[in-house]
Amino acid sequence: MKHLLSAADLSVDEAILLLDTAAQMAATQSREIKKLPTLRGRTVVNLFFEDSTRTRISFETAAKRLSADVINFSAKGSSVSKGESLKDTALTLHAMGADAVVVRHWASGAPHQLAHSGWLGSVGNPVAVLNAGDGTHQHPTQSLLDAFTIRRHLVPDEGVGRDLKGLKVAIVGDVLHSRVARSNVNLLRTLGAEVTLVSPPTLLPVGVESWPCATSYSLDDTLRDWQPDAVMMLRVQRERMSGGAGGFFPSPLEYTRRYGLDQRRLAMLPEHAIVMHPGPMNRGLEISAQAADSPRSVIVEQVANGVAVRMAALYLLLAGGSSAEGTSI
């Protein structure tokens, strides 16, 4: 592995390698001493141009658990606020000796630009780039931790060495603005799961019919007739909606009535089904408190699994994996 930029670039073998490595990393985190010496002497930079809590802390924790040196960079309070370009920021990080850069950016494609522009590293000394979310495009480590969580709960023997064939996943909510939805559709289909997107027509992107999944406008029909094994609720991203949410659905109450996961809809799921959410949640909008805190919910576990998955990604990028040299995944 050279970079981790998009879930769409992962092959079945690469995805399973990442998930199996994450399982090994997760096993080490139950020990009294959780730290591993694997990346001692390496420097990982967290380059965040957007606000983040879970992803930034998760990547920082993952790097530190592998004994890497970590530098946290936030656009707020940096030279970016003075007009510094992405290129100059990248050149500065390279001059400081970064071995890997974890980047979150408001612009779709920014991590790809960093990885392939030549601003970071050289042919003989490459700098690994990990996409921590770019605009409404991709969030590969989120889809990996979601797949990891699904596999542990719904595949025998916690799914080690296995794909997700035969499983059904419903992704519900604001698909239009969601990089999580795009990444999950790519990765879950690669791993063999069936995916249905459930959303109001106004919150589905143009061209969604070309995606490798089904679509539905009715959450009740999907839960009752399709009986998904996992339901992934998406946050309504009002900050990305020009003019506010009013241009996409009549009111928050109407959205909750049609697309919110509550106690009644929870009862429609199969007994083994799990409830997921990438966070942060809008309790009372896309998911009720009863659903979020129910025994079916694995939302807190997703956060813990995120550390193991990101440890696996950093390990395979910086300590070597089985992919061909120079491959970007």
The full set of domains in the chain, from first to last, is 7-138+304-318 (3.40.50.1370), 140-302 (3.40.50.1370)
Q: Which residues of the chain have pLDDT under 70?
A: 76-83, 122-124, 239-246, 321-329
The radius of gyration of the chain from alpha carbons, rounded to an integer in Å, stands at 20
280: preceding bond cis by omega (within 30 degrees): yes
Report pLDDT for 237.
83
Report pLDDT for 323.
39
Residue 172: strand, helix, or coil: strand
Instruction: Tell me the CB-side half-sphere exposure of residue 250, using CA atoms within 13 A.
Output: 6
CB distance 37 to 177 below 8 Å: no
Residue 265 known to be catalytic:
no
CB distance 43 to 68 below 8 Å: yes
Residues making up the annotated binding site are 54-55, 82, 104, 139, 142, 179, 235, 279-280
Q: Of 139, 152, 153, 277, which one is the catalytic site residue?
A: 139
pTM: 0.92
The number of beta carbons lying within 10 Å of the beta carbon of residue 279 is 16
What residues contact 86, with CB distance under 8 A and at least 6 apart?
Answer: 105, 110, 113, 114
Q: Of 31, 53, 76, 82, which one is the catalytic site residue?
A: 82
CB distance 196 to 187 below 8 Å: no
Residues making up the annotated binding site for carbamoyl phosphate are 54-55, 104, 139, 142, 279-280
Residue 128: strand, helix, or coil: strand
Report pLDDT digits (tens) over 1-55: 789 999 999 999 999 999 999 999 999 988 888 999 999 999 999 999 988 888 9
- Beta pairing, strands 128-134 & 274-276: unpaired
Residue 54 known to be catalytic:
yes
The number of beta carbons lying within 10 Å of the beta carbon of residue 238 is 15
Q: Of 94, 104, 137, 153, which one is the catalytic site residue?
A: 104
34: tokens are: 């959780």
In sequence order, what are the beta bridge partners of 101? 45, 129
How much of the chain exceeds pLDDT 70, in percent? Answer: 91
Residue 35: strand, helix, or coil: coil
Q: Of 28, 38, 54, 61, which one is the catalytic site residue?
A: 54
In sequence order, what are the beta bridge partners of 126? 121
Report pLDDT for 4.
97
Mean pLDDT of the chain: 90
Q: In what order do the strands lie in the sheet with 43-48?
A: 69-74, 43-48, 100-105, 128-134
Residue 139 known to be catalytic:
yes
Q: Which amino acid is at 53?
A: T
Residues making up the annotated binding site for L-aspartate are 82, 179, 235
Q: Of 21, 43, 55, 89, which one is the catalytic site residue?
A: 55
CA 82 to each of CA 72, 76, 77, 208: distance values in angstroms, whole numbers, following the listed order: 18, 10, 9, 38
